Amino acid sequence: MRNAIPTNIITGFLGVGKTTAITHLLRHKPADQVWSVLVNEFGEIGIDGAMLKSVNAHVREVPGGCICCVAGLPMKIALNMMIATTKPDRILIEPTGLGHPEEIINTLTGEYYDTVLDLRATLTLVDPRKLTDERYTTNANFQDQLAVADVIVANKTDCCDAQDRENFNQLLQSFEPPKQLSAWVEQGAIEADWLDLPRTPRTSKNPQAHRNNSLSPQREFYNSAIQLPQDKDFIRRDNQGQGYYSCGWLFRPDWQFNFNLLFLLMTGLSVVRAKAVMSTDQGVHVFNSENGVLSVNQLDQSLAGDILDSRIELIDDQVINAEEFEAQLLAIKI
């Protein structure tokens, strides 16, 4: 029999750099190993799978909310298919920044998976600059992500100051018992050795706490295989829950957008989170924005050819004016 597959959850709140950290791990994994990634996003239009094209990863996405909902059925289906098709040597699971990792842990250590997966340390990424922001510190999901962590990783530290570091140290001192490991990194530079630290078993204080956030099974199955209908130039999908709203667009693959105007449009966004993989007149680019701070990277041409469509997702704690943003996008189509 095949040995149980080493598996890790890499979690953290919106915009903390989970996908960047996973990209770093995949670039530094042993060359003879196959690593697969299961990605969940709050938005209905999956973006992270396309972003991970830069490392040619084996990725399966479950868009549209929390993969632990409805008894974990969407996650189980996606995970089973991924194991069967890629036969991975390691699995990394990236829950949505608005998800509940405790429920995912319960699923992965429950019946069936306890003999299939070897669930190891959960890594939680934290942006130290957010530790004084009540939108984060009072958020139940943020608190859950810290509670289940075996390893706490301060990311984006190249943007932090001495007070941010002190706040992070105070956070570490508040855990009882202490976490197994903490780290202070830039650009998601997680060490692969941390993945092999053991998982700390925990007992849920309130196993029913997250049940009310479930999506309907029909909606989740639909999202897990979202495609552009042949008679449509684009589609828009919305989601909301836990005080946040998302709006995403999927465009036909032969459409291109003016890069300079798209850059200006993305720069001017005031939403909490924006992600996009877009085909432009200057190549395929990944746009990543958190609270108005935008980064842009061009995909390698050899990998960009695998991008079948352009897609963009906005997440905010206010209702998004989808019609206005959609009109602006369509106006810069070439």
- Give per-residue pLDDT as tens, 253-268: 899 999 999 999 999 8
Instruction: Report which of 127, 156, 155 is spatially closest to residue 142, judged by C-alpha positions.
Output: 127
Per residue in 262-289, pLDDT (tens digit) is 999 999 898 988 999 999 999 999 898 8
Same domain, 177 and 240: no
Same structural domain, 242 and 201: no
Residue 107 lies in a domain: yes
Q: Are residues 170 and 298 in the same domain?
A: no
Report for 93-107, 155-169, 228-242: range of highest mean pLDDT: 155-169
> Mean per-residue pLDDT for 13-17?
89
Q: Same domain for 169 and 305?
A: no
The domain boundary residue, chosen from 212, 245, 262: 212
Residue 301, pLDDT score:
63
Is the peptide bond prior to 63 cis by the omega test (within 30 degrees of 0)?
no
Distance from C-alpha of 329 to C-alpha of 324, rounded to nearest angstrom: 9
Report the pLDDT value the prediction gives residue 70, as an integer from 0 to 100: 42
Return all residues near 266 (Cβ < 8 A) that are at least 6 apart.
274, 276, 287, 289, 294, 296
Would you say residue 220 lies in a domain?
Answer: no
Mean pLDDT along residues 96-122: 87
- Tell me the mean pLDDT in the region 49-74: 65
Q: Report whether pLDDT(193) > 90.
A: yes
Q: Verify that 74 and 145 share a domain, yes or no.
A: yes
Q: Considering the domain boundaries, does residue 190 fall inside one?
A: yes
Is 219 part of any domain?
Answer: no
Question: 302 or 242: which carries more pLDDT confidence?
Answer: 242
